[in-house]
Amino acid sequence: MDMSVTDFQIPFQSGQLFARRWQVTDLTTVPIVLMHDSLGCVALWRDFPEQLAQATGRNVVAYDRYGFGRSSACQEPLRTDFVRTEASEAFHAVCLFFEIEKFIVMGHSVGGGMSVCCAAQYPDRCMALVTMSAQAFVEDRTRKGIILANKAFQDQQQFSRLEKYHGGQAQWVLSAWVDTWLSEPFAEWTIDTELQQVRCPALVIHGEHDEYGSLPHPQRYAELIPVQTEMRIVEGAFHMPHKEKTAEVLQYIQQFLSSIA
């Protein structure tokens, strides 16, 4: 399948958002918009967007959230409502720029929570929702995983991996993750309200051994979303099922989206 890959800079607030589009079909087909995780960016999706576009026959758009990757630097700490506001702010700007009316939203980890918020806030426009390793609340396993990761990033060799993708913003990216998720104000965060507002079919993918979220997370997604919801637990996978078990995850997604216009 022929594919073109194009990079874009999207005006946003006082700076820009970096975005990339993998185009395999005409622009009238409902595209997939990807939402990255807490330390992620477009580049860290690696070849998954290309494989996703090939498997589904749909155009794929991914962007670096404000402060991440090749988007403009953010000088402020994350607000405690950052999961919800991503849908109404940066995601909204991306859809306006690409003139996306109908969309399929797909997110990994906290990007999965953001995807839920996108589906909840735009019920008439979101045709399908896919989450991978998404959290529904803050639990001890999540906190312990973040604490261990933060300790590992104190090693300069490990931290340089963040700098490779986030440049001078790497310390902000790490702090935005660690300080927010371990903060007292964020301890009571849940996505229950938004889950109950989803009106499109949903696919919930989770690794069997996810070190940042136990199985009650996808179970809560499946229980609270009031419409057709499919849950897939990927055996042997951890927090990155789309990288650890790529073929299996792509098959789940392709099958799920085959009935979506």
CA distances from 256 to 70, 86, 133, 135 (A): 32, 25, 17, 21
Decide: helix, strand or coil at residue 53.
helix
The overall average pLDDT reported for the chain is 96
Q: What is the pLDDT of residue 259?
A: 85
* Spatial distance between the Cα atoms of 201 and 216, rounded to a whole number of angstroms: 20
Which distant-in-sequence residues (6+ apart) come within 8 Å of 225 by Cβ?
Answer: 129, 195, 196, 198, 202
Q: What is the pLDDT of residue 146?
A: 97
Question: Residue 140's domain is classified under what CATH number?
Answer: 3.40.50.1820
Total domains in the fold of the chain: 1
What's the pLDDT tens digit per position in 99-146? 999 999 999 999 999 999 999 999 999 999 999 999 999 999 999 999
Mean pLDDT across 201-208: 98
What's the pLDDT tens digit per position in 177-189? 999 999 999 999 9
Structure token pair of residue 90:
């940066």
pLDDT higher than threshold 90 for residue 26: no
What's the pLDDT tens digit per position in 215-261? 999 999 999 999 989 999 999 999 999 999 999 999 999 999 998 87
Of 21, 207, 47, 163, nearest to 99 by C-alpha is 21
**Cβ-count burial 214-227 (b if 16+ within 10 Å, e if not):** beebbebbeebbee
Range of the domain at 163: 4-257
Q: What is the pLDDT of residue 155?
A: 94
